[in-house]
Structure 1
């Protein structure tokens, strides 16, 4: 005759079942999920030329766009571009709105606390741009001036570090808005990348913006969620292979008119 199970025994059995179910789900990591879906969701800010932008036919182009396209193709996956802003790159990873971020994403200690990065695949400079007629030889010359930056970027962080107390820092939520402020003359000093200063002059040559100071050279990497070692290993291996065969250098040169620097092509580790 079977012995009736007690409520406590049934509860323990149910809890054990839930634990086993959780362990099974954990084994199906993100790489498995991506490959099963046959789709790679890549978050990209669509207004960060020459990394990502739209041409006159509204087609997505740029070095980050082509990098994402090549990665998806080599992985045998469909590419889904998930539009984001520079401010939302980390939240999009954390809320699973994207599998990875390829969007002028600099490696920083602060970001590395909450997400993981691949090995670097490209660089980006942080510079202070202003009209040629304006005298700026060092951070001290920013005293009493209004300077703009895109919120949450490494440009914003570097500006905050070096700006004198009397500097007025205005932060915009994306590069497109910062660009509009510079082109229209609402702002004269922008901490950004050299290529965006070039775009300002293309849109309004009378601005005559030049690079006054280089604050830092950052390394760009693919962003991914914490705790996905297999996905990171796959992406790291792909980047190393594409740096080795020259494909990533060709993409970078196409849009930036320069070779990838030695610290990208020949990293110390």
Structure 2
């Protein structure tokens, strides 16, 4: 009788051990990380906190996307001009870095549906005679733009009489304007507003839109349709469930209030002019 009970006890222990082993195996099989590329030099969207960790709107958005997909997230700080090559070579899965959807970029990468909309604006030195974008295309006017941006494209196309300086970073462009070496810096409305607040003694912002809105999208490697469709579904769900409103309240509440006062379309609004 004792032997019988002993056999039953051993059998039970074996089943428990096997069950635990299977559960441990399940827990150890984790979905691969969603590798997100962004340039951490564009607050409040892509930046670093006091501990040098990725922070900002796009970082939170990346984390929420990864959670939606059931994957951990890995954020890779990548220079702006290296983002598309990193997608093409498979170093990253997706770009979430305030990237404007353009036909030229769409030839080499695939974009999601838009999740944000932006307009170009001007950061102007207070001593400059520039009052509107119409004042830019004149001899003697110096305009700074960041390389590879839509402001750069605009300047090259329309400002043939001005001196256009293409610099490598936003900060360099802002410094040129604050120190009076450039009349204006062309960039998106939100950044121009924030920079004018930081540098209110030396600059002023011209926020009135002078182009149709530009759409921001997430980008994947050409042909990665499975991930692209999942991202599109996430954006729709995120908009529906107030995700972009939460990002606005956390990072852009003051800007939203100002834009509402000026009657400008909001950045995350689905209704654009």
TM range (shorter): 0.7 to 0.9
**C-alpha displacement at 1:70, in angstroms?**
0.9
Which stretch shifts more, 252-261 or 217-226? 252-261
CA contact (8 A) 1:86 1:153 kept: no
Q: Which has the larger radius of gyration?
A: 2
Query: 1:143-195 deviations in whole A, cap 9, x for unaligned?
Result: 121101111111211222221x2211111123233233334443331000223
Match of 1:209 in 2: 204
Match of 1:99 in 2: 93
Match of 1:64 in 2: 58
Q: Structure 1: where are the runs of 5+ without partners?
A: 1-34, 265-269
* Alpha-carbon spacing, 1:93–1:53, altered in 2? closer, same or farther (3 Å): same
CA contact (8 A) 1:136 1:212 kept: no
Over the aligned positions, Cα root-mean-square deviation in angstroms equals: 2.3
Paired with 2:178 and 2:112, the residues of 1 have a C-alpha distance of 35
Paired with 1:68 and 1:187, the residues of 2 have a C-alpha distance of 35
Paired with 1:157 and 1:131, the residues of 2 have a C-alpha distance of 22
Paired with 2:48 and 2:179, the residues of 1 have a C-alpha distance of 21
Q: How is 1:145-160 mapped onto 2 (pairs within 5 angstroms)?
A: 145-160=141-156
Aligned counterpart for 2:82 among listed residues 80, 83, 88: 88
Q: Is residue 2:172 matched to residue 1:177?
A: yes
Instruction: With the length of structure 2 as denominator, give the TM-score of the two structures.
Output: 0.75
Query: 1:229-257 deviations in whole A, cap 9, x for unaligned?
Result: 11111111111111111112321343233
CA contact (8 A) 1:118 1:236 kept: yes
Q: Is residue 2:244 matched to residue 1:248?
A: yes
**C-alpha displacement at 1:210, in angstroms?**
1.0
Q: Is residue 2:189 matched to residue 1:190?
A: no
* Alpha-carbon spacing, 1:139–1:97, altered in 2? closer, same or farther (3 Å): farther
**C-alpha displacement at 1:73, in angstroms?**
2.0
* Alpha-carbon spacing, 1:170–1:213, altered in 2? closer, same or farther (3 Å): farther
**C-alpha displacement at 1:132, in angstroms?**
4.3
Match of 2:23 in 1: none
Aligned counterpart for 1:139 among listed residues 134, 143, 160: 134
CA contact (8 A) 1:136 1:142 kept: no
**C-alpha displacement at 1:223, in angstroms?**
0.5
* Alpha-carbon spacing, 1:161–1:252, altered in 2? closer, same or farther (3 Å): farther
CA contact (8 A) 2:122 2:187 kept: yes
Q: Is residue 2:271 matched to residue 1:263?
A: yes
Provide the aligned length of Structure 1 versus Structure 2. 229
